[in-house]
Each structure stands twice: as structure tokens, then as C-alpha cells.
């Protein structure tokens, strides 16, 4: 059983090199690696252990559409869709083959995600948001996830939703579902994909092992206000699409939550938030009421 790894790539060649080196260290000869370049940079790889294919976008398409383009070009039954800042363990593919054999009815496999400090990412094992969960969204980083709805990491088991930073999926299933939706420029395209897969009756399984390391989004962290606005816009699209919640309601819930968080940051004297929250709240208000 062979795999294709699809990597949408925008920038930071050194991070991508870490991923390619980790793929090479797995010793899985013949693994097809498709790097979809969505920016001006190209990967620096001079090895021969992996079958590297580079696709260049004529214009910036974003993560989801770049992943779709790479998946359409893949030649293997199973594809791994990966952020460029992922690192695979040396035993990843043998362990993955075992899990596929143990879960013959699974169409999607979600390996556990850990950060560089070996802290588990609860977004890799979660349920799909329900209609009124948008009220909790402003606080989800302060809870286990969506009001404490985090499953736990003790077992490999079926899940409703994983995280698009790294997923393993049958190519035919991914293409049948239409891949990642073009409705989302950044964020929530993975949740939308899992919602579509569940609606079509496909089964997703969380894997305790093998796990992968997710180094984190350096680009997103460097543009905090812009990325938060992009996430809020995508969140509003998701709740409108799947639960018919008006986008303005999602924006207002976020604004109310951000005001509360700003008050707490003042009480705790968190200087990093003194500028962020007023600017973010102002932009969110403009996005909410500034349109006809």
C-alpha cells in the first residue's frame, strides 16, 4: 500500500524542508509527494528517496483549493493532506498501514496532532459544532473545546471532526465530496469538509498512534488581527451554511466575547492585549454594520 502526500505550500522553505526530510526518514520508498506552490517560493529538495512533484499555481488560491489541485493529481488510493509545518515520525507509514487494516470501514483517518512541546491539540479530535455553539466560540481557546466537548486521547475511536493540518483520506472519497470548499479562504475549510463527509455517510476515525508533530502557523501568528478576522468570517460562513445562523449573529457573539476578554486583560494587565482587542473589536464592528 502506497500513499500520496499533498502539501499546499506558501512560504518558509526551511519548514517545508523539515517535513520532506521527515518523509525521507520514514524509509517509505516510492511515496509520492506533491507540493503545490501557492506563493513565490519553491522547495529546496535534492534527495532521491521520495517521488517529488511540484505544481505551481498561476495565482494564489489558498490552502483548500491548492490541496484540491494536488489531490486531483495524486495517483494513489490514500492521500495525506498536510500543512508544510508538519513533521512525521520515522515509523509513520508502517503504523498507518496497521491502522488502515484495523479500520477497514474508515474513509478518513485523523492522526493525533502534537505541538513541538508534545502538547496534544484537541482540535484533532472533536465533534462538529451544533447550531448554538457559535455563542461559545469567542471562548473556545479557554476551554477544552467548544464548551468542554473534548473527547480525550486515550483511545483510537470514531470522531465527527478532525483538523485539516494533517488528515489521511481516500482520494476517491475526497474528490467525491468536492474537496475543500472554495467558500473559505482561510480557516474552517476542514470543519466544512468533515461535515460534508459525515453528511455523505463516510466514517472518520481518530488515531492515537501514529501521531504527527505540528510546529504551528508562523505566518498566522505574525498577522494576528488579520488572521482573527479571516477566522471570524469563515466561522460566520460555516454557521450560515450548515445551521442557517445569520452571519451578523456570529459577529455579534464574537464582539461581545472580545469585549469581555478585553476587560479581563485590563484587570490582569496583559499588555499584549491592550492594542489588539480595541483594534479587532473596531474591525469586527465595521464588518458587522458597515455593509448595506
The answer to whether residues 47 and 7 belong to one domain is: yes
How confident is the model over 24-37, as a mean pLDDT? 86
Ranges 50-54, 65-69, 122-126, 151-155: which has the least confidence: 151-155
Q: How far is CA 209 from CA 94, 95, 215, 279, in A?
A: 11, 7, 18, 42
Contacts 24+ apart (CB under 8 A), 267-272: none
Q: How far is CA 217 from CA 15, 85, 97, 211, in A?
A: 10, 7, 28, 18
Select the more confidently predicted residue: 262 or 146. Answer: 262
How confident is the model over 149-170, as a mean pLDDT? 81
Domain range for 138 is: 3-219
The answer to whether residues 244 and 128 belong to one domain is: no
pLDDT at 254: 95
How confident is the model over 48-67, as a mean pLDDT? 87
Q: How many domains does the chain have?
A: 2
Of 78, 75, 65, 100, give the one whose Cα is nearest residue 171: 78
Q: Looking at 174, 201, 219, which one is the last position of a domain?
A: 219
Give percent of the chain with pLDDT exceeding 90: 59
How confident is the model over 144-168, as a mean pLDDT? 72
The answer to whether residues 167 and 151 belong to one domain is: yes
> Which residues 6+ apart lie within 8 Å of 93 measured at CB?
3, 26, 28, 31
Q: Looking at 219, 251, 270, which one is the last position of a domain?
A: 219
244 CB burial (10 A radius; 0-12, 13-18, 19+): exposed
Q: pLDDT class for 43, splitting at 50, 70, 90? A: confident
Q: pLDDT class for 126, splitting at 50, 70, 90? A: confident
Average pLDDT of the chain to the nearest whole number: 87
Dig out the grid coordinates for 108 from the structure: 478518513
The answer to whether residues 88 and 190 belong to one domain is: yes
pTM for the structure as a whole: 0.89
The answer to whether residues 179 and 272 belong to one domain is: no
3-state secondary structure of 157: strand
169 HSE (CA, 13 A, CB side) = 32
DSSP state of 251: H
Q: What are phi and psi of 158, to 5 degrees?
A: -60, 145
pLDDT at 145: 44
The answer to whether residues 116 and 137 belong to one domain is: yes
Q: pLDDT class for 141, splitting at 50, 70, 90? A: low
How confident is the model over 183-203, as a mean pLDDT? 93
The answer to whether residues 146 and 242 belong to one domain is: no
The answer to whether residues 188 and 118 belong to one domain is: yes
The answer to whether residues 19 and 128 belong to one domain is: yes
Q: pLDDT class for 149, splitting at 50, 70, 90? A: very low
Of 64, 1, 35, 9, give the one whose Cα is nearest residue 194: 64
The answer to whether residues 62 and 183 belong to one domain is: yes
Ranges 16-25, 68-77, 213-222, 275-284: which has the least confidence: 213-222
How confident is the model over 111-123, as a mean pLDDT? 88
Distance CA 107, CA 47 (A): 32
pLDDT at 154: 59
Q: Looking at 219, 247, 266, which one is the last position of a domain?
A: 219
pLDDT at 142: 53
CB–CB of 70/55 below 8 Å?
yes
The answer to whether residues 23 and 149 belong to one domain is: yes
Q: What's the CATH number where 123 sits?
A: 3.90.550.10
The answer to whether residues 203 and 236 belong to one domain is: no
How confident is the model over 136-158, as a mean pLDDT? 62
pLDDT at 48: 66
Q: pLDDT class for 227, splitting at 50, 70, 90? A: confident
Distance CA 202, CA 160 (A): 10
Amino acid at each position: 500500500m502506497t500513499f500520496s502526500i499533498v502539501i499546499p505550500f506558501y512560504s518558509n522553505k526551511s519548514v517545508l524542508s523539515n517535513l520532506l526530510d521527515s518523509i525521507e526518514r520514514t524509509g517509505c520508498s516510492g511515496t509520492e509527494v506533491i507540493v503545490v506552490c501557492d506563493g513565490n517560493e519553491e522547495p529546496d529538495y535534492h534527495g532521491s528517496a521520495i517521488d517529488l512533484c511540484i505544481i505551481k499555481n498561476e495565482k494564489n488560491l489558498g490552502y483548500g483549493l491548492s490541496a484540491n489541485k494536488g489531490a486531483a493529481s495524486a495517483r494513489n488510493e490514500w492521500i495525506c493532506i498536510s500543512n508544510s509545518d508538519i513533521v512525521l515520525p520515522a515509523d509513520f507509514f508502517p503504523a498507518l498501514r496497521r491502522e488502515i487494516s484495523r479500520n477497514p470501514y474508515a474513509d478518513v483517518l485523523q492522526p493525533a496532532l502534537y505541538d513541538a512541546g508534545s502538547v496534544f491539540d484537541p482540535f484533532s479530535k472533536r465533534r462538529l459544532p451544533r447550531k448554538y455553539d457559535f455563542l461559545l466560540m469567542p471562548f473556545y481557546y479557554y476551554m477544552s473545546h467548544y464548551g468542554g466537548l473534548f473527547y480525550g486521547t486515550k483511545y483510537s475511536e470514531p470522531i465527527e471532526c478532525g483538523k485539516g493540518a494533517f488528515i489521511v483520506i481516500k482520494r476517491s472519497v475526497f474528490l467525491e465530496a468536492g474537496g475543500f470548499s472554495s467558500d473559505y479562504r482561510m480557516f474552517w475549510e476542514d470543519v466544512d469538509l468533515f461535515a460534508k463527509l459525515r453528511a455523505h455517510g463516510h466514517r472518520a476515525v481518530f488515531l492515537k498512534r501514529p501521531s504527527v508533530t505540528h510546529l504551528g502557523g508562523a505566518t498566522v501568528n505574525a498577522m494576528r488581527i488579520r488572521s482573527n478576522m479571516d477566522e471570524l468570517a469563515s466561522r460566520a460562513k460555516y454557521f450560515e451554511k450548515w445551521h442557517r445562523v445569520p452571519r451578523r449573529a456570529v459577529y455579534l457573539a464574537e464582539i461581545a466575547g472580545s469585549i469581555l476578554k478585553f476587560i479581563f486583560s485590563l484587570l490582569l494587565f496583559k499588555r499584549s492585549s491592550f492594542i489588539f482587542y480595541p483594534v479587532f473589536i473596531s474591525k469586527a464592528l465595521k464588518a458587522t454594520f458597515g455593509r448595506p
